[in-house]
Amino acid sequence: MAEYPKCDFCSAPFPAWVHPSADFIMAEGWASADGAWAACDTCHELIEAEDRRALAERAFRTVPGGVPRAARNEVRTKIQRMHQGFWKGRNGVPYRQTYVQDAQHRQEGQR
């Protein structure tokens, strides 16, 4: 598992936004929601536009390691359920977060 912060929707590194949301029980085996969701610029825009469909599709397409054909429906359902928790739980104004610069440099050095 990567050690750097990731977008909670599409796994992009160093997401620039935080979207406050209430805690909720996540589907088993999936990352926990601890009250706020990190979002990259692209996902942030989809959230602001309330484009739930596009956001779910983006999350589906960026599942780490890809999704086996046989599991597609199951994974889509899980993502939708996860996002439902997010949409229902939203309880604050999104804000930008910044990272210590050298953390980013260290990450780039590993590529």
Candidate residues 33, 36, 38, 43; the one interacting with Zn ion per rule CB under 5 A: 43
Q: For residue 2, what are the contacts with CB-CB under 8 A and spacing of at least 6?
A: 13
Strand, helix or coil for residue 94: coil
Q: Which stretch binds Zn ion (CB under 5 A): 10-18, 46-54, 67-75, 80-88?
A: 10-18
Strand partners, 13: 6
Q: Pick the stretch among 33-41, 75-83, 85-93, 95-103 that binds Zn ion (CB under 5 A).
A: 33-41
Does residue 10 interact with Zn ion by CB under 5 A?
A: yes
| Minimum distance, C-beta of residue 79 to Zn ion, in the bound complex (Å) | 13
Closer to Zn ion by CB, 14 or 24: give it. 14
What are the tokens at 49? 């536009």
Task: Decide: is 18 part of the binding site for Zn ion (CB under 5 A).
Answer: no
- Whether residue 42 contacts residue 59, with contact meaning beta carbons closer than 8 Å, is answered with no
Q: Binding to Zn ion by residue 55, rule CB under 5 A?
A: no
Q: At what angle do helices 72-89 and 52-61 cross, to 10 degrees?
A: 130
In this complex, which beta carbon is closest to Zn ion, that of residue 70 or of residue 98? 98
Instruction: Determine contact, residues 56/79, Cβ cutoff 8 Å.
Output: yes
Residues that bind Zn ion (CB under 5 A): 7, 9-10, 12, 40, 43
